Amino acid sequence: AQKITQTQPGMFVQEKEAVTLDCTYDTSDPSYGLFWYKQPSSGEMIFLIYQGSYDQQNATEGRYSLNFQKARKSANLVISASQLGDSAMYFCAMREGVDNQGGKLIFGQGTELSVKP
């Protein structure tokens, strides 16, 4: 079974509007972290935002926020006021605690976001 599922292969958004990128996860581990990375066409992985499983508040970092719904096992990324430079591939990833020997990250398939002027 997929540990991380991103159901939107591609998304379009108008510049200056908000967009939500979906991510659901599957774990029985009580201690885990959820991460979002941006990958522009140049290829590097840029860390955007992190949510810990014990965090009570949704994480926010500038224009990025994470809509964390623990009971539904979802961790959607919200980008507010989209900019042309936001056009990129976005990956959701999870790091488990107890059962994860060595602490690897597991990635979803990614969502390609295109921001239209």
Residues that bind other proteins (CB under 8 A): 29, 31-33, 35, 37, 43-45, 47, 50, 52-54, 91, 93, 95-98, 100-110
Q: Helix/strand/coil (H, E, C) string of 27-65?
A: CCCCCEEEEEEEECCCCCCEEEEEEECCCCCCCEECCEE
Closest contact distance (angstroms) between CB of 25 and other proteins is: 12
Q: Which residue type does 45 have?
A: M
Closest contact distance (angstroms) between CB of 76 and other proteins is: 18
The smaller minimum CB distance to other proteins, of residues 24 and 82, is found at 24
Alpha-carbon gap, residue 29 to 96, rounded angstroms: 6
Closest contact distance (angstroms) between CB of 95 and other proteins is: 5
